[in-house]
Structure 1
């Protein structure tokens, strides 16, 4: 049995569902193994997210467990299918953290991204120099230079999705402070602001700025990103980051709160045109 560390979210999501379906039917892993004609160890590996599952095997298990809800089946089968796809991130398996690779694979699978950032410009919009300054400032004392450079290269590779034939629809709201904080120095920020203006011209990107003048808003609790996964947009996942870890939120009620918060942020933010004017003004002052 081959175990690896990739696609953690997808595997754990599928595994949790399989465990729930099995327990709802009052089956032990041993009894379920007999029903499915596979070993208990194999079933345990699936349920614990230690092993990728082929869509045809997942379909067989869902059939045997009597799972007929079409939406649930489509979501799980989509996760299984996309979780087995190869991507550029696999080149970093031995050099980057598993959760970072996992996030990149989910981001690349998204058909839509809704992003709010209040401290730094989002990684999908960063120049190489700005990314290096951000990564060095947050972890430079804790990580060797070669790891920082690996993280920079990895972050730049994430931006490949802008060049896809059908890139994801990206809506982003950036707090004005991230445009004014001179991370990396004046020249780095000038290049970064120019990069933002150029990206704002792309048809798949809708960029807004939340100005200092905005009154109460739901972004006070921090940055988040909502990923709508798969070509059929079957599943929405919220990604939240901190200094030491990242985590995913996928309970429908919690996701809905984040969607409503993002909608409100877009309402109180400057329009796309006015946001561009503000970025140009800040660039002229830098």
Structure 2
């Protein structure tokens, strides 16, 4: 997240200096790709590189320069999730890093319970299927990663605000057996009592809707300088959509899903009734 914030500022400064990425790369004697990856937060920047960029963009002294250099120092530090590097799926560290800095997540789940709402038994059963070649200890590490992420919902002083829309299929798909499913649904209904957690169910009888094609998560931040991100998970890899038009479209889509779903009280009753059926 800090790399992303730094990149936004460096891009703004480059554009204010009237330089294209290609022109900046020529002056700095580096590749266009390197400048692009730094500006998009996809790589750690050396302090030497940030100093050179600030010099080129005319930020040679003052509080702004020092603040950006300090931001880069912080951006180079490893997040808590680096302790799970041995099991962290490729590319997923980006999502975990964004999630850790987010103020609010709006997620639509089509098939399984979102990770932040999963009980340990449910997560364990799901991860065993998703990682069939993993050793038992690796599966337990993945479960620990998931439960550690869930601490965001109790983060002080500002817990992560979560709004989830669940397709009814999430409640009906058996994961881990009847006891696991019943426990998962009851736990989810209990979480819905928190002021910062909103869970709505989109039942089958509502028919076709705007997002039958798959799940997505809209990640929003408290600082207006940090634009939102849309995370789309798929079999071919994970996508992070950041263009303002893409973020707006995701917000509109999520709003339609919310409007089509049961309200919060109806959803809680629906979830508890589904738990009884298991």
Same fold (TM over 0.5): yes
In structure 1, the partner of 2:25 is 29
User: What is the Cα deviation at residue 253 of structure 1?
Assistant: 0.9
Structure 1 unaligned blocks of 5 or more: 1-6, 34-39, 68-75
Asked if 2 retains the 8 angstrom alpha-carbon contact of 1:14 and 1:79, the reply is: no
Picking from 45, 48, 62, the partner of 1:52 is: 45
In structure 1, the partner of 2:221 is 229
In structure 2, the partner of 1:176 is 168
Distance 1:260 1:267 in 2: 11
Deviations 1:34-85 (A, max 9, x none): xxxxxx359975543442366x985984684379xxxxxxxx9999687446
Distance 1:111 1:245 in 2: 25
User: What is the Cα deviation at residue 272 of structure 1?
Assistant: 0.2
Picking from 148, 170, 173, the partner of 2:139 is: 148
Structure 2 unaligned blocks of 5 or more: 60-67
Deviations 1:13-42 (A, max 9, x none): 6599489848527625242x2xxxxxx359
In structure 2, the partner of 1:126 is 118
- 1:190 equivalent to 2:182? Answer yes
In structure 1, the partner of 2:62 is none
In structure 1, the partner of 2:64 is none
SS of the residue 2:257 aligns to? helix
User: What is the Cα deviation at residue 221 of structure 1?
Assistant: 1.4
Please tell me the root mean square deviation across aligned C-alpha atoms, in Å.
3.6
Asked if 1 retains the 8 angstrom alpha-carbon contact of 2:3 and 2:43, the reply is: no
Picking from 243, 256, 262, the partner of 2:248 is: 256
SS of the residue 2:125 aligns to? helix
- Provide closer, same or farther for how the CA distance between residues 81 and 253 of structure 1 changes in structure 2, counting only shifts above 3 A: farther
TM-score when normalising by structure 2: 0.80
TM-score when normalising by structure 1: 0.78
Distance 2:85 2:110 in 1: 30
Matches within 5 A, 1:160-171: 160-165=151-156, 166-171=158-163
